[in-house]
Amino acid sequence: MGHMNHFSAGWVTPVLSYVMACVGSALGLRCTVRALEADGASKRNWLVLASVAIGSGIWTMHFVAMMGFSVEGTPIRFDVPLTVLSLLMSIGVVAAGVFTAGYGRSRVTSVVFGGLGTGVGVAAMHYTGMAALNLHGEVNYNPGLVIASVAIAVFAATAALTLTLVVRGSVLAALAALVMGLAVSSMHYTAMYAVSIDLAPSSATLHGATATEFIFPLAVVLGSFLFLASAYVALSPTGKRHENSAAAELLREVELTTA
């Protein structure tokens, strides 16, 4: 059995991956709140941005953490199409959760289904990302820990949405992002402890890209996107509408005719 090291790059990978998860979550949750204050195309756009933020935050967290993952006795390569699929899947499933939360009739159903969707999205992304690993050997999972990892993801996503949608406030918003970031990270490492690897030493070349060739550039791009989008969202005015002012009415008329 291969000895695995989750922290072969030291503390940098867990810390950086946690930061990425928090930034993605903070941005996503903020956009979800904005979406609830908006309607029409604007609401949809905020929800799309929220999904992309949380989805790419989760993905970046996973693969930054994976850069610190090494197995004694075998190189590791990443299957490029599967890695890209895991990113799209992450955004897609999270979108289902976020849109449910954004368009939910009641806050309770929003939070429950939103949390379920987002949590399952985290897990689906993780295990697809793991399927993208190519190494000399076979990856096996401990079913109990796999179930625990999915449960952690769902529970924490629900907690983060509850803090965001039910209770309002900037302190709680920050707390929600930290909770969600912690959730994604703890889900990741729980899921990684579920892994055991049966080595089949071989000198055959593995197909796929190394972490530095492919994962690192993509993580940098997504990370930059998250930080820039966060700055944009933080600086843009909030969506509180002043119905009484004629200017706002006029703007809405214009929006309706152009939408």
Exposed e or buried b per residue across 25-54, where buried means at least 16 C-beta atoms within 10 angstroms of its C-beta: bbbbbbbbbbbbebeeeebeebbbbbbbbb
pLDDT at 81 exceeding the cut of 60: yes
The SS3 call for residue 221 is: helix
Q: Which residues contact residue 222 at a Cβ distance below 8 angstroms, ignoring those fewer than 6 apart? A: 56, 59, 60
Angle value at C-alpha 14, between 218 and 95, nearest 5 degrees: 55
The single residue listed with the structure tokens 């990270």 is: 185
DSSP assignments along 94-158, one per residue: HHHHHHHHHH-SSHHHHHHHHHHHHHHHHHHHHHHHHHTEE-SEEEEE-HHHHHHHHHHHHHHHH
The SS3 call for residue 71 is: strand
**pLDDT bucket at 259, cuts 50 / 70 / 90:** low
Please indicate whether residue 122 or residue 238 has the higher confidence score (pLDDT): 122
d(CA 60, CA 211) in angstroms, rounded, equals 12
Neighbours of 205 (CB within 10 A): 8
CA distances from 252 to 32, 103, 144, 243 (A): 21, 20, 53, 10
Tell me the average pLDDT across 218-238. Answer: 78
Mean pLDDT, the chain, as a whole number?
Answer: 79
pLDDT at 197 exceeding the cut of 60: yes
Q: Give this prediction's pTM.
A: 0.76
Element housing 238 (H / E):
none
Q: 47-51, 145-149, 151-155, 216-220: which range is least confident on average? A: 216-220
Per residue in 7-45, pLDDT (tens digit) is 666 677 788 888 888 888 888 888 888 888 888 888 888
d(CA 259, CA 248) in angstroms, rounded, equals 16
| Residues forming a β-bridge with 67 | none
Tell me the average pLDDT across 192-216. Answer: 79
pLDDT at 240 exceeding the cut of 70: no
Q: Say if residue 86 is exposed, middle or buried (CB neighbours under 10 Å; 0-12, 13-18, 19+).
A: buried
C-alpha dihedral (192, 196, 198, 204), degrees to nearest 10: 0
pLDDT reported for residue 158: 84
Please indicate whether residue 85 or residue 245 has the higher confidence score (pLDDT): 85
Residue 198 per-residue DSSP state: E
pLDDT reported for residue 199: 82
**Residue 61 near residue 188 (C-beta atoms within 8 A):** yes
- Report which of 34, 39, 3 is spatially closest to residue 235, judged by C-alpha positions: 34
d(CA 26, CA 178) in angstroms, rounded, equals 8
